[in-house]
Structure 1
Amino acid sequence: MTDDVIVECIDVNTHFGALHVLKNVNLTVRAGETVGLVGESGSGKTTLGRAILGIGPVSSGRILFDRQDIAGVPPRDRKGNAAAIQAVFQDPYTSLNPSMTIEDILTEPIIARGQAGKAEATAKVRTLLDQVALPSDAAFRYPREFSGGQRQRIAIARALALSPHLIVCDEPVSALDLSTQARVLDLFIEIQERTGVAYLFVSHDLAVVRHISHRVAVMRGGEIVEFGDCDQVTANPQHNYTRRLLLAAPVADPVRQAERRAAFRALAMGA
């Protein structure tokens, strides 16, 4: 494990009964970078993210974080800075407690982790809201008063509250419309440039991953079939499955779209 690698998965396997979901997965995320983890539904990408977070099982293998093996260890039992890995989940409508104000949502993890008292945590709320480009008076409102994109900004602020080194982003823009997606992705990039936080960015959409990632890992059937620099993987993929993911993305030109569909069918027949 080199100095700039903050999390390393080594031969990680997960079984759910007889179902082998993760198969000898090897993956690294470096400090300050975004690794896009892309694949279709059921490929195992969310299972891997949950394993890193400590909320999903690991049958065998190691997950090294801060040089400690955290595989299968829930967050409350992890030594050192257990708050250093945080998450932003897919659905901004169900990931926030509707009965709490935004101030309470943002201060709760800070106080619960003992990082600050009530007054200091409350003072930090304005900074957190500013980081995600929301007005300070948002603190006194409830989640139902915000749009989906704004709620996801609040979820990002909550993840940032504990100053993490890594955020696992599980399909964080898939529930948003295209224009809102682009703004939230740009926000992720701006936050990373300011704070140096790393992301494991899980998505089924290779176009989204291409927008934000430094490196891309492609999962299929519980295995990583391709992993490399974003430009290389998305412009010159080596695996047929990655080529199919690229061809599956729609384009506005109907002629090009027809050509892509034909190429996709040809690859699918040869898979």
Structure 2
Amino acid sequence: MTTLAAPTASTTTVADEPLLRVTGLSVGYPSGPRRTLTPVVHDVSFDVSEGRTLGLVGESGSGKSTIGRAILGLAQPQSGSIRFAGREISRLSRRQRRPLAREIQVIFQDPYSSLNPAMQIQDILAEPLIAQGRSLRDARAHVRSLLDAVHLPSDAARRVPSEFSGGQRQRVAIARSLATDPRLIVCDEPVSGLDLKTQARVLDLLIELQQRTGVAFLFVSHDLSVIRHISHDVMVLLRGRTVEAGTVREVTENPRDDYVRRLFMSSPVSDPDEQARRRAALRELPPVIAPGG
């Protein structure tokens, strides 16, 4: 059986430069009758190194998913720089970005809508491989190793998404993201629609795959407990601005900002006594003041 390979660089990374470097990123979306740009992300900077996970965390509207979209080329930056493997990618055309699809992949939030309900799993997983020029026979052979990597049985290949649970569908989505041996995967709220036990299993799977392949993750979530479980580093966003950043231990064990404390206290836990304690502590915190506000 073929096995998953570690990502290989098609572009030589500049010495001492991380795999992904985002500097001074600002993004806005057109709104109103004159389609003027409404700022969503303001002057955000961070690095993601090979084999590491940066967690982007914040409430809905904080700009975290917009940052992921900018890296994927789905949102146009107003200003700033996005460098991947030593190359500026923030203003590439769609055609120029096409080769990057092999190296930068995405796992979407909703496994129910991100998988074509009419296609068998083997065809869903083979699709990106065929797009990269591999034969159908070779692609389907690789599908078996992908299913094995995410701990799904081989007979899953001939089934359709409706035959799987939410957690199993997200495993299929993870397998699809791994198909081209990427160097970076943007994970956009990939466990938010799952129950707590299934969340933990999917997070453990992602950690296992990272250890095996060396892939880097940019992990987007509104849940600081999820971020703490999977991330090496974390950046907390509020209304498009960074309020706190550091190692996951620094930010989750000794947060300096009251907003970060609120996020932690708002995270659901299975223990009702601990949940009650968190709610009581949450009521004691002062109101949040946004940076720049």
TM over 0.5: yes
- The equivalent residue for 1:13 is 26
Kept after mapping to 1: 8 A contact 2:167/2:202:
yes
Residue identity matched to 1:111: I
Kept after mapping to 2: 8 A contact 1:91/1:175:
yes
Which residues of structure 1 form unaligned runs of 5+?
none
Answering whether residue 63 of structure 2 is matched by residue 44 of structure 1, we say yes
Q: What's the TM-score, normalizing by structure 1? A: 0.94
Answering whether residue 196 of structure 2 is matched by residue 178 of structure 1, we say yes
Kept after mapping to 2: 8 A contact 1:53/1:75:
no
- The equivalent residue for 1:141 is 159
Superposition pairs of residues 151-190 of structure 1, within 5 angstroms: 151-190=169-208
Residue identity matched to 1:84: E
- The equivalent residue for 1:244 is 262
2:202 is paired with a residue of what secondary structure?
A: helix
1:5 is paired with a residue of what secondary structure?
A: coil
Answering whether residue 114 of structure 2 is matched by residue 95 of structure 1, we say yes
1:91 and 1:270 map into 2 onto residues whose CA distance is: 30
Kept after mapping to 2: 8 A contact 1:11/1:62:
yes
1:270 and 1:121 map into 2 onto residues whose CA distance is: 51
Distance 1:123-1:258 versus aligned 2 partners, 3 A rule = closer
1:35 is paired with a residue of what secondary structure?
A: strand
Kept after mapping to 1: 8 A contact 2:22/2:44:
yes
Q: 236-245 or 166-175: which moved more?
A: 236-245
Picking from 123, 130, 133, the partner of 1:104 is 123
Kept after mapping to 1: 8 A contact 2:259/2:288:
no
Answering whether residue 141 of structure 2 is matched by residue 123 of structure 1, we say yes
- The equivalent residue for 2:33 is none
Residue identity matched to 1:120: D
Percent of aligned pairs sharing the same letter: 56
- The equivalent residue for 1:199 is 217
Answering whether residue 236 of structure 2 is matched by residue 218 of structure 1, we say yes
2:172 is paired with a residue of what secondary structure?
A: helix
Q: Quote the offset at 1:145 in angstroms.
A: 0.8
Q: What's the TM-score, normalizing by structure 2? A: 0.87
Answering whether residue 20 of structure 2 is matched by residue 3 of structure 1, we say no
Answering whether residue 277 of structure 2 is matched by residue 264 of structure 1, we say no
1:268 is paired with a residue of what secondary structure?
A: coil
2:246 is paired with a residue of what secondary structure?
A: strand
Q: 250-259 or 165-174: which moved more?
A: 250-259
Runs of 4+ in structure 1 deviating by more than 4 angstroms, as ranges, are 251-259
Which residues of structure 2 form unaligned runs of 5+?
1-13, 31-36
Q: 163-172 or 70-79: which moved more?
A: 70-79
Corresponding residue pairs, total = 270
1:253 and 1:121 map into 2 onto residues whose CA distance is: 45
Q: Quote the offset at 1:256 in angstroms.
A: 5.0
1:41-83 CA-to-partner distances (Å, cap 9, x unmatched) read 0000000001111112211111000111111435542275442
Distance 1:270-1:65 versus aligned 2 partners, 3 A rule = closer
RMSD over aligned Cα atoms = 1.8
1:184-238 CA-to-partner distances (Å, cap 9, x unmatched) read 0110011001101010010000001100110011011101111111011000011
1:94 is paired with a residue of what secondary structure?
A: helix
Distance 1:174-1:257 versus aligned 2 partners, 3 A rule = closer
Residue identity matched to 1:113: Q
Kept after mapping to 1: 8 A contact 2:262/2:285:
yes
